[in-house]
């Protein structure tokens, strides 16, 4: 049974009622922070700060709604091409976010996960993330999965390399390589595929995000800039998801 958007918006306590049809895993590209700032005559850093506030709101909302996994794209392997001062500013945001939010995450039983190339990050960023992973490792509620220094092709290259090594070591035969074998080597190993992909700010591209994992994902795009994204927009996306027929290549029975 699906939950009409009106009901979701009306009453927080009813949200759990239709849990069966809720997307389990939502993936979001947190896009449009720079344009949000420009529109207001503010520096791009103000947009990133506002984007962080939006993230806090959406983590809270997703937890309340009963989402199991929330994956957010915070920094791509391509983002290193931005001006160095902006990159340096961005790399301080995990520390800043965790300073205020780590207690909140633990209070709400939220477990942090990370996907991307940890080695490429500044030491202070890596330390903050590693510590937060350890401090939330025992939590059993929603998983908040940060894609940071992440690129989907790099993820696939790394998976293929690991599989090739297994094969050349005689531990894996070519016939044994299937979907499950590949998934084992992705950063998302053990997570369900995203049910719903959300990209705000008017772009309709995947931009090297979760290429393997979105094979059957419902895609939802919106013109709202990420800093303006709120619970209403999230519920709108979930409502759209619940009104689509997912057939996985088959026909509706
Ligand atoms: C900037 C909007 C939280 C997107 C959100 C380094 C652009 C705010 C984190 C974060 C960023 C990352 C890992 C972690 C805890 C928090 C973050 C970046 C950018 C890129 F363990 N917000 N945030 N990371 N922005």
Identify whether residues 186 and 63 lie together within a single domain.
Answer: no
Instruction: Evaluate the CA torsion angle 42, 47, 52, 58 in order and state its sign.
Output: positive
Q: Which domain holds residue 125?
A: 21-150+193-199+219-243
Ligand 1 contact, 37 CB (< 6 A):
no
43: in domain: yes
Identify whether residues 239 and 121 lie together within a single domain.
Answer: yes
Identify whether residues 165 and 235 lie together within a single domain.
Answer: no
Which of 52, 89, 103, 129 has most ligand 1 atoms within 8 Å of CB, for mutation? 52
Ligand 1 contact, 163 CB (< 6 A):
no
Give the CA distances from residue 181 to residues 158, 177, 186, 249, in Å, rounded to whole numbers and listed in that order.
13, 5, 10, 22
The answer to whether 122 and 91 have CB atoms below 8 angstroms apart is yes
pLDDT tens by residue, the chain, 253 residues: 455 555 555 444 444 434 558 999 999 999 999 999 999 999 999 999 999 999 999 999 999 999 999 999 999 999 999 999 999 999 999 999 999 999 999 999 999 999 999 999 999 999 999 999 999 999 999 999 999 999 999 999 999 999 999 999 999 999 999 999 999 999 999 999 999 999 999 999 999 999 999 999 999 999 999 999 999 999 999 999 999 877 788 887 6
Identify whether residues 176 and 237 lie together within a single domain.
Answer: no
Q: Distance, CA 74 to ligand 1 centroid (Å)?
A: 5
Q: Report CA 127 to chain centroid distance, whole Å.
A: 21
pTM for the whole thing?
0.92
Identify whether residues 63 and 125 lie together within a single domain.
Answer: yes
For residues 31 and 175, give the distance between their C-alpha atoms in angstroms, rounded to a whole number. Answer: 40
For residues 193 and 182, give the distance between their C-alpha atoms in angstroms, rounded to a whole number. Answer: 13
Strands 69-76 vs 25-29: parallel, antiparallel or unpaired: parallel
């Amino acid at each position: 049974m699906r939950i009409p958007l009106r009901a979701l918006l009306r009453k927080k306590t009813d949200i759990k009622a239709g849990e069966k049809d809720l997307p389990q895993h939502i993936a979001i590209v947190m896009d449009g922070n720079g344009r949000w700032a420009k529109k207001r005559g503010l520096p791009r850093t103000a947009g990133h700060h506002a984007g962080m506030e939006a993230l806090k709101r959406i983590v809270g909302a997703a937890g309340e709604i009963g989402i199991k996994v929330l994956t957010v794209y915070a920094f791509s392997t391509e983002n290193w091409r931005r001006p160095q001062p902006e990159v340096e500013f961005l790399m301080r945001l995990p520390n800043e976010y965790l300073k205020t939010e780590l207690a909140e995450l633990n209070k709400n039983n939220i477990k942090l996960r990370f996907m991307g190339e940890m080695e490429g990050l500044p030491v202070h960023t890596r330390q903050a993330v590693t510590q937060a992973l350890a401090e939330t490792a025992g939590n059993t509620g929603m998983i908040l999965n940060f894609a940071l220094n992440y690129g989907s092709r790099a993820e696939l290259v790394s998976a293929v390399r690991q599989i090739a090594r297994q094969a050349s070591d005689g531990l894996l035969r070519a016939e044994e390589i299937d979907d499950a074998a590949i998934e084992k080597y992705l950063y998302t190993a053990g997570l369900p595929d995203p049910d719903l992909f959300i990209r705000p700010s008017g772009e309709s591209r995947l931009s090297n995000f979760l290429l393997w994992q979105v094979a059957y994902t419902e895609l939802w795009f919106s013109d709202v800039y990420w800093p303006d994204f709120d619970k209403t927009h999230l519920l709108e996306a979930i409502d759209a998801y619940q009104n689509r027929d997912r057939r996985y290549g088959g026909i509706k029975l």
